[in-house]
Amino acid sequence: MKEFTRKLCEENSIVGLVPTMGALHQGHLSLIKQARQQCSSLVASIFVNPKQFSPSEDFARYPRTLPSDTEKLENAGVLCLFLPEAKDIYPQNFSTYVNVEGLSERLEGRSRPGHFRGVSTVVMKLLQIVQPQFAYFGRKDAQQAAIISRMAEDLNLDTEIVVCPIERETDGLAMSSRNVYLQTSDRQAATVLYRSLQAAQALLQNGSRDALSLHSAMERVLKEESRAKIDYVEIVDAQTFDPLMHINRKAYVLIATKIGETRLLDNLLVDFSDKGQLTTEL
């Protein structure tokens, strides 16, 4: 893999990397579409990274759909699929970890201890192996994207981290490989994440900047859905993920909720133009 991209680099190719865990959906394909606009050679990786799953999590049953993934990547114009094995990524005596401290312990990190340390370590390795000029991550996992961006800046990496919009089903459910876990009965209930974010968006568009008001409105929506068990609803600064009381800068409205046995994430991006004009992006 290293040799392959070194050659591409010598040919002055602009290399883009889309790192995935497979089970590809429209969200991944939108990353690839974005990458094609910036890069001349696209590499996608599929690696279900054991180090980002805790022992109680779904590593073994995480969806694996390699034949259809391969076809999707070929059709999307990906030049190279990097498909490493765990024994090559983590050989015997492997013991080096990259950790973005602070940011990795909150929210998702509190619910999933060690998760982000596994993510930042494997992404670091993938970036060193592929050495892309650009690497693409979905905004659905906003905290992950913030952690990877922070890591790239802190460790002086040459790769620019690009965070791409959330792709949604027609009823608003954010696309995720884990959506296949949703039982028929849960599938409708799962739209409650989107609907609660819409309630927050409406308040913002009506001029509210108060985190507590948004919080209350979202919880009202969520509590109407008996299958939903809230993990957290938080409004945070988009870089540091520090909680915000007053929303006056780039921020995320974050939600993590269990629907039946399936844990789902979603978020609303809030930003302000130079003139203070509000923008929101679901």
The single residue of 25, 28, 115, 215 carrying the catalytic annotation is 28
Q: Is 56 in the site for a copy of itself (CB under 8 A)?
A: no
- 25 in catalytic set: no
Smallest separation, CB 237 to a copy of itself (Å): 11
* Number of chain residues interacting with a copy of itself (CB under 8 A): 26
Name which of 24 and 103 has its Cβ closer to a copy of itself. Answer: 103
Strands 228-237 and 251-259: antiparallel
Residues 112-144 as b/e (b if ≥16 CB within 10 A, e otherwise) read: bebbbbbbbbbbbbbbebbbbbbbbbbbbbbbb
Q: Which residue's entry shows tokens 């596994």? A: 118
What string marks each residue from 99 to 118 as x (binds a copy of itself by CB under 8 A) or -? xxxxx---------------
Of 50, 49, 41, residue with least CA distance to 18: 41
Q: From edge to edge, which strands make up the β-sheet containing 262-272?
A: 228-237, 251-259, 262-272, 278-281
Name which of 102 and 113 has its Cβ closer to a copy of itself. Answer: 102
What string marks each residue from 124 to 163 as x (binds a copy of itself by CB under 8 A) or -? xx--xx--------------------xx--xxxxx-----
Smallest separation, CB 148 to a copy of itself (Å): 10
Q: Is 94 in the site for a copy of itself (CB under 8 A)?
A: yes
Name which of 128 and 248 has its Cβ closer to a copy of itself. Answer: 128
Report yes or no: 124 and 89 within 8 Å, Cβ to Cβ: no
Of 197, 206, 174, residue with least CA distance to 251: 197
Smallest separation, CB 159 to a copy of itself (Å): 10
Smallest separation, CB 22 to a copy of itself (Å): 21
Name which of 29 and 98 has its Cβ closer to a copy of itself. Answer: 98
Of 121, 135, 147, residue with least CA distance to 50: 121
Strands 80-82 and 41-46: parallel
CB atoms within 10 A of CB 56: 7
SS3 for 19? strand
Q: Is 281 in the site for a copy of itself (CB under 8 A)?
A: no
Q: Is 86 in the site for a copy of itself (CB under 8 A)?
A: no
Q: Is 26 in the site for a copy of itself (CB under 8 A)?
A: no
Name which of 131 and 267 has its Cβ closer to a copy of itself. Answer: 131
Name which of 17 and 197 has its Cβ closer to a copy of itself. Answer: 17
Residues 6+ apart with CB under 8 A from 111: 231, 232, 256, 263
Smallest separation, CB 68 to a copy of itself (Å): 29
SS3 for 232? strand
Binding site for a copy of itself (CB under 8 A): 2, 93-103, 120, 124-125, 128-129, 150-151, 154-158, 239-240
Catalytic residues: 28
